[in-house]
Structure 1
Amino acid sequence: MKAREFERAFEAGDRLDDALDLEAARRPNLEMRRVNVDFPSWVVEGLDREAKKLGVTRQSLIKVWIAQKLEAEGPSRL
C-alpha cells in the first residue's frame, strides 16, 4: 500500500491492521548502544540520592537527564 492510499484509508476510518506488519515495526534512532562512563564517587552518590528521591534507577535518571539536555539544545544538535 502506498503512503497516499494508507493516509486516505486512515482518514476514512478504515481498519488498517492488515496493512501493517507490527512485528517488523521499528522506531528509528532508538536502537540501544552501550556506553561506559566513569564518574567520581561523589557524582555516583549524588545520582543515587536523586534517583532514590524520584523512585527510579540511576541508569534511568542519567538517560532522562541527558535526553532533556539534548532536547533543550534543539533538533539541529541531535
Structure 2
Amino acid sequence: MKTITAAELDEKFDNGEDISEYLDWSKASRPNLELKHVDIDLPVWMLRDLDKEAERLGVTRESLMTQWIKERLEASRQSK
C-alpha cells in the first residue's frame, strides 16, 4: 500500500482519480449493515409525494425513507 498525505488523498478523490492503491481493504468494514426487509402499505398520494421528493434529491424512494426514519430516530434519542 502506498502512502500519501490526507490532503493529497483528498485532492485525488476530488479529481475522480482511483485511490484504491492507498487504501487497506483488509481493514474495511460496514458497521450496522445487517438489513431486514419490511413491507409497508402507504396511501397512493403519499407514494407520489415520496417519489417526487426522491427524484428532486436524486435518490431512490427507499433511500429517502431510510434517511427520514434515521433522522427521526436520532432526534428522538437526543430528546430523551
Q: Does 1:70 align with 2:41?
A: no
Instruction: Please give the TM-score of this superposition, normalised by the length of structure 1.
Output: 0.60
* Equivalent of 2:63 in 48, 60, 65: 60
Instruction: Return the offset for 1:30.
Output: 3.0
Q: Which structure 1 residue ranges, 4+ long, deviate > 4 Å from structure 2? A: none
How much identity, in percent, do the aligned residues show?
Answer: 46
RMSD between aligned residues: 2.4
**Unpaired segments ≥5 residues, structure 2:** 1-23
The one-letter code of the counterpart of 1:52 is E
Structure 2 distance, partners of 1:70, 1:47, is: 19
Higher relative contact order (CA 8 A, sep 6+): 2
**Unpaired segments ≥5 residues, structure 1:** 1-16
Q: Which structure would you say has the larger Rg?
A: 1
The one-letter code of the counterpart of 1:36 is D
Q: How many residues align?
A: 56
Task: Report the equivalent of 1:37.
Answer: 40
Instruction: Please give the TM-score of this superposition, normalised by the length of structure 2.
Output: 0.59
